[in-house]
Amino acid sequence: MSPPNLALPPAPPALSYELFPPRTPAAADSLWETIRALESTHPDYVSVTYGASGSNRDTAVSLLRQLQETSLRPLAHLTCIGNTAQELALLIAELLDHGVRGILALRGDRAPSQTRASEQPDERGLLHAQDLVELIRRVEQRRSALLAAGKLAIGVAAYPAKHPESPDSAHDIEVLLAKQRSGADFAITQVFFHPAEYEDLLSRAQRAGVSIPIIPGLMPLTSLVRLRRLAELSGAAPDEALLAELAAVDDDATRRRIGVAATVRLARVALEAGAPGIHLYTFNEHRSALDVLERLDLPRPAA
Ligand code: FAD
C-alpha cells in the first residue's frame, strides 16, 4: 500500500471536444478540417454524438473508426432511445471490437411522437441512462480478458439547470448518484450560461456523495441563434445581458470576440470552482473553440 501522506502530482485540467457525424459529403470535408485543427491542441478525447432515433448509427460508427486512425481518442455517445437492449448490447460489443474505450451513456431526447421504451414490452428498450451504464458494464465484463490492456471509461450527463423532465434539481442529483453507483466514471454537463449554476451543481453533488469528476460542457457563446435554441432545448436560462450585447452588434467578427470572451469567463469561473477540465461543444466548427482555448491558456501536459 502506498503511504497515505504521499504527495501526488497535480492533474492538469482535461480538455475534450464534441463533434457530430456529418450528414453530407461537403459536411464531412469541413469536419475533417475541424478535426485536424483540433488535433493540434492535443485534447484528451473527442466525443461523437449519437442520434436518439438511431438514424445516424452507421455514420457515427464510421466517424469513430476514422478517428481511431488519428492521434485522437474517441468517446462514443450512445442513447437508450431508438434501440432495443439487444441492439445496444451488439452495438457496444461492436464499438469495443473497433477499439473504442470510452462511452457516454445517455437516454437521448424523445421525439414528441415517440412512446417510452417501457411501453413497448416486446421491444425491451432501456428506460434510463443508468440502465445503459449497467448494460455497458455487463458487456465489458464478458470481454474482460480482451480488455486487459484498456478498460472502459463510462461517462454520463449531469445538469447544472434542472433537467426539463425532472421534478426538481435534487432529483437530478439523486439520478447522478445512481448513475455513479451503477458504474459511471465521470460526468459531462449540459450547457449552462451562468457560472453559479455549475458551482451550485458541484457543491450539491459533493454533499450528496457524488465523487466522480463533473466536467463542464461549454458552448462557444458566439451565435445568437444557437444560444437561444440551446437555452430552449436544455431549459437553461440564457444570459440575457450577453444576448443583448450580441444582438447589438451587426458584424460577425465583433460578435465572435464578445462570445469568445464570455465563454472564457465562464470557463475560468468553472475551473476556479474546481472543474477538472472543460468539454467544448464545437458544433463541428473549430475557429471559436480554438479562440477560446488560446485565450483561456489552459495548462496542458507536454505533448
Ligand atoms: P437520464 O439520466 O435517464 O435522465 C432522463 C430523465 O429521467 C431525467 O429527468 C431524470 O431525472 C429521469 N430519471 C433518470 N433515471 C431515473 C430513475 N431511475 N428514476 C426516475 N427518474 C429517472 N442526446 C442525444 O440524443 N444524443 C447525444 O449524443 C447526446 N449527447 C449529450 C451529451 C451531453 C454531455 C449531455 C449533457 C446531453 C446529451 N444528450 C444527447 C441529451 C440527453 O440525451 C438528454 O438530456 C436527455 O433528455 C436525458 O439524457 P440522460 O442521459 O440525462 O437521461
pLDDT of residue 80: 95
pLDDT of residue 118: 44
The runs of H, that is alpha helices, within 155-194 are 169-181
Out of 77, 107, 134, mutate this one to test ligand 1's pocket (max ligand atoms within 8 Å of CB): namely: 107
Alpha carbon distance 78, 103 (integer Å): 7
> Bridge partners of 281?
18
Could you give the CA distance from residue 46 to residue 35 in angstroms, rounded to a whole number?
A: 9
Atom number of ligand 1 nearest to Cα 155:
34
Average pLDDT estimate for 51-65: 90
Cell numbers linked to 152: 472502459
Average pLDDT over residues 171-184: 98
The model carries a pTM of: 0.95
Q: Is the CB of 217 under 6 A from ligand 1?
A: yes
Residue 18 falls in the annotated catalytic set: yes
What is the Å distance from ligand 1's center to 186 Cα? Answer: 14
pLDDT at position 123 over 70: no
pLDDT (0 to 100) of residue 4: 82
Atom nearest to 164 CA in ligand 1: 9
Choose the residue to mutate in 50, 80, 175, 181 for probing ligand 1, maximizing ligand atoms within 8 Å of C-beta. Answer: 175
The stretch 16-38 carries a mean pLDDT of 97
Give the HSE-up count for residue 247: Cα atoms under 13 Å, Cβ half-sphere.
9
| Phi and psi at residue 88, to the nearest 5° | -65, -40
Name the closest-CA residue to atom 28, ligand 1.
49
Q: Is any atom of ligand 1 closer than 6 Å to the C-beta of 190?
A: yes
Q: What pLDDT score was predicted for residue 55?
A: 79
Closest atom of ligand 1 to CA, residue 128: 3
Q: In sequence order, what are the beta bridge partners of 217?
A: 279
The pLDDT value recorded for residue 117 is 45
Render 250-265 in DSSP notation, one character per residue: --HHHHHHHHHHHHHH
Tell me the C-alpha distance between 54 and 108, whole Å: 10
How far apart CA 285 and CA 125 sit, in angstroms, is 34
Burial 233-257 (b: 16+ CB within 10 A, else e): ebebebbeebbebbeeeeeeeebbe
123 CA distance to ligand 1 middle (Å): 20
For residue 157 and ligand 1, the question of a CB distance below 6 A is answered with: yes
